[in-house]
Each structure stands twice: as structure tokens, then as C-alpha cells.
Structure 1
């Protein structure tokens, strides 16, 4: 499989790299990192990164404009995207060949070729292992992208998905001379609106007897704090240290739906996410409900899985 992917990359004259919508650091880090490595390895190829940028992560790079007529002759690589519905870009599956490279559970094999490994911390880490096997050089501009992806998906190396292999890759990337001070300043700087909203979140946490914490942020609340849904979504871990907390949810109301960010310290929550039009990792998932009347249903299911879990 890995050799087949390498051969397709080396044979292609045009490569278009996609990832999931509403990107996080791993989605963008893996996308920009792979693009940079391939541009360095194959300067004569046309290699583009497609999708919409997240405002808070604009420091990570600039995405390319890709026309629909470029896809039929292109190799499309889709990164960090568990299911087809979450791909950012309606043309992504119109390529000559499509490759999925991901670290989420492979429950939707939408591409022609799949390379999925849920045992790694992030898609960025997975790509570094792969590129090392192929003997491709990872220059510093790519290294800082991959490092950002790993930092983002491991919570600065705190989450249980962090392994000795993760630290080995991180050390390799650090050895290229990346500026981690610059990276952390940009990754964790906070707008005043978001900081004020965080205060509201901390004051409005609900904690159930089963150990499920949750906060509901309505459109009205977001407008009152002049905060975007994107800014609010970054607050999902702001109360992760609460004593007695087993799992938690942040509900974000938009014009069309309610986005649900789910996290856990032990109970497996991605099965709950799947029941509500979502999915993800056992300890970090996302879901979507139609309106706020469905909040109680999500909390009820989280109470069931959290109530059955013992630390």
C-alpha cells in the first residue's frame, strides 16, 4: 500500500491535497507539510493545497485556488478526514486517483487507496513516518507544519495518543531548527472576544451526576461577546480539568445547525458522535444536531457511557 502510494505520487504531474472542513492544526499542518515536502522533492510537479482557511490558523500558510477542470488528470490526496461528508471541497473525489491518509478509525473508505493508522497521534505524525520510509527530505518549512499538527492533536503532548514514536518524530522535526516560540505564540494567542467568552463558559458549566460537563452557546450569546463559532470551538478544553469530569460537550448554535464538540477522559464517545451525524476518535469527536431541543438527547447518551465508566 505505501509503495503503491509512493509510485502514484512519483507518476503524477498534478497533485491536489485536501483535508477536512473547518480545519484544525493537524488538518492544515499535514496538508501544508506534505505539499512542501513534495514541492521540494519534485519541483517540476504542480502541487496544490485546496480548501477554505480557518481565520485563527491563517498564520500556517496560504491555500491555492483550484479549478474544477484540474481534477480529472490529478492525483488527489485527502488527509485527516474520516468520512466523505467532512471533505473540504466538492471536487475532491473527481481526481484520476484518490488516496486517503488518516489516523481516525476507517469507517468510511471513500478513496481508491486507503492508508489509515489509528494508533498514531495525528495525520502529521503518520506522514512523517511515511516520508521517512520513502527517504524524502523534510525541510524546515514542512517540519514546522508537521510539528504544529502533532502539537494540536496531542494537546501539547498531553493526550493518551502520544507515544514514544510521537516524541521521536517531534525530536526529528525540532532538529531541523524550527522556531517553536513563533509557533506557540501564533497557535495560542487569544482575541479579547474569545477570552471574555471563555469567562462566560467557565461560569455556565453544567455537570451531571454521571460526570458529564457541558456548555451551550447560543447565537445570541456569541453575538453578545462578538465571538465567532470558530473562536468558540477552541474553548472545548477550557474546563477539562474540572474535578469529577469524565466526558464533556460544547454546543455551538449556528444559523443552520448546532455543532457539538465532544471530549472524554476515558468513556468512548465516538459511538455517541456517530448517533448524532458525527464521528471521530474514541476520546475526541464531533457531531451535529439540528437545533437546541436535541441537546438533552446528546447529554442523555453521554450520561449512559460516562455512568458505566470507572476510573
Structure 2
């Protein structure tokens, strides 16, 4: 509670607040950013509160836009809050350090304390859960507009795999209930998040027919630029299909390699096996069972698969009952 109180006191102290997040934003990232921004705007209408970032995600556009504004004359006197970003090199705002005071709010594994105040809750499965808990702690003074509730619900849903992953407990479900109580339209939310284009389904069918496997239990697929062009999908649409391989008996790790303009995006997922350290070897990270990374060369694909295969082999040796 001490850190939450410090954050709340700082929010009340500053008239200019800038909320930033990580590159390649996902649902929890955008949900936390817009959720926190709209809570603070509704609660402190006299303050100037912005959420900024360069990258966007078209599938999250229904949550509303971030702010396109020149903050050159504001940043030096502002409170900067960085959400859902484990390491400073992934912050999608070059001038964040120029803020008068900086706060990090995050739920990923604690690897870098880059802000003046670092509030990290590894016990919660999404940064949206941290923001919702923060609102609940100061409910007497903070408002929850419907736009914020919708954004935070999206963050909870996407980072918990629709409430399927570890870390989901009764507290998280109560948070979801509080957000739903604002009369958000969850049918509309799920439609925006999970309805796919016909082209994506065609690529998904191709993946199911052409994915490859390692000796001990890694399923993987390399989505080349040629395949993206053939099936008329974006790199984001291709990456979103990673969990196509999530339910194959005996295959505890599944990986999507998606070729970009210069580098290869990696989406690492698993049951039981910790893949975060492996992602860290390739400039990435995230969660124990859901991480991302970036490869510079195609030859690194084979190397990463071999390392993942060894992780699965060891896990199966230690846990012979696993499936």
C-alpha cells in the first residue's frame, strides 16, 4: 500500500502527467495506458493528462486513440508514468527520461528498475490488473469512466488468455466483475478482439498443415514475408496466430517466427515450461510462459529451437506426468 499511496500522492501533486508504454503494443499495454489516462482525466479534469506512443495496433483502435501532441514544453515539469514495460530499451517515447519525476508500473519479471519509483507486481497477471487495483484502493477519490473500464477489461482478457493462464485467481475475477459493472459491452469487446479475417483463417489452415516439431516437444512455424504476401496478412495478423499450436499433446513449447522487413519477430508460448530466460538471450522477455524476442538472422531460428527443445526435454525428465 505504501507504493500505491506514493503514486497517488504524486499524481495529485503534478498538473502535467504523461503516460507512456512499450513498443509493439498489445492489449494489456494499450488497455493500461488508456485505462489509466481516462481514470485520471475523469478524476482530475483540471490536469493535463496525455498518453503517447509511436507504434499502434489496429485491432485495438476501438479503444480510442492515444494523444498526438508536441510535449516539448511540458515534459520537464511533468510526471511520466511508464506502464507495462519491463526494460527501458522498449519504451516507445524517446523523451521519457526528461520528465521531472518518473514512475514504472509493471507486472513482468523485475529485471530493471529504471524509474524514480518502480511499482512492480509480479503476483498479478496483467498491468491492467495493477491499474484496476490502484483505482479500487482509492475508489473514494478516483472515478472509473466506461471508456477506462473497457480498456482495462481488454488488458485483463488479453494478458490472461481469456482468464486461462496462471495468475488468474478470485481477486482477478472480482476485478473483472467491477469493470463489467460499469455496463461495458463484453460481446462487442470479444468481437473486436477475436474475429479474424478470412485471410487469417486461410493462413491458420496452412499453419496446421505445415507446422514442424522438434524431437522432445517444440512445435514451431516460420511465417516468411512470402507467406504473408501470399495470404494477404499483416505481420501483426500473422503473429496473432501463435496459439494455433497451443494444444498439441506432448508439445509443451510452441514458437512463431514471423519475418519482418529487417528482423524476425519471435512469439514464444508454453505450458509449464519457463521460456522467459530463453527469450532474454535474444533481446526479449515477458512472462515465464509467454514471451517475445527478436532475431537478426534466419540461422538463429534453428539455434533457438534447439535450446527450447532442451528445456522441454529437461522439464519432461523432471515431470514425467506432464502432457
Q: TM-score, normalised by structure 1?
A: 0.97
Displacement of 1:209: 2.2
Q: Using the alignment, how far apart are the partners of 2:98 and 2:161 within structure 1?
A: 34
Q: Which residue of 2 aligns with 1:142?
A: 148
Shift of 1:306: 0.9
Does residue 40 of structure 1 match 2:42?
Answer: yes
Aligned to 1:61: 64
Contact 2:29 2:84 in 1 (8 A): yes
State the match for 1:163 in structure 2.
169
Q: Deviations over 1:156-207 (max 9, x none)?
A: 1111121111101011111111110111111112122222111121112112
After TM superposition, list the pairs within 5 Å mapping 1:1-311 onto structure 2.
1-51=3-53, 52-69=55-72, 70-135=74-139, 136-309=142-315, 310=319, 311=322
Distance 2:164 2:151 in 1: 19
Give the gaps of 5 or more residues in structure 2: none
User: In 1, Cα distance between the equivalents of 2:60 and 2:230?
Assistant: 24
Task: Tell me the secondary structure at the aligned position of residue 308 of structure 1.
Answer: helix
- RMSD of aligned residue pairs (Cα, Å): 1.1
- Preserved contact between residue 63 and residue 150 of structure 2 (Cα < 8 Å): no
Aligned equivalents of 1:305, 1:3: Cα separation in 2: 41
Detail structure 1 runs of 4+ shifted over 3 Å in the superposition: none
Tell me, in whole angstroms, the C-alpha distance in 2 between the residues paired with 1:36 and 1:85.
26
Structure 1: how far apart are the matches of 2:209 and 2:22?
32
Segments of structure 1 that go 5 or more residues without pairing to the other structure are none
Paired residue secondary structure (2:256): strand
Deviations 1:261-299 (A, max 9, x none): 100101110010011111110000011110211101101
Find the residue that maps to 1:237 and give its secondary structure: helix
**Do 1:253 and 1:291's aligned partners in 2 also have CA atoms closer than 8 Å?**
no
Checking the alignment, whether the CA contact within 8 Å between 1:53 and 1:63 is kept in structure 2 is no
The 3-state SS of whatever aligns with 1:238 is helix
Deviation (angstroms), 1:68: 4.4
How far apart in 1 are the matches of 2:89 and 2:233? 26
Rounded Cα–Cα distance in structure 1 between residues aligned with 2:100 and 2:114: 14
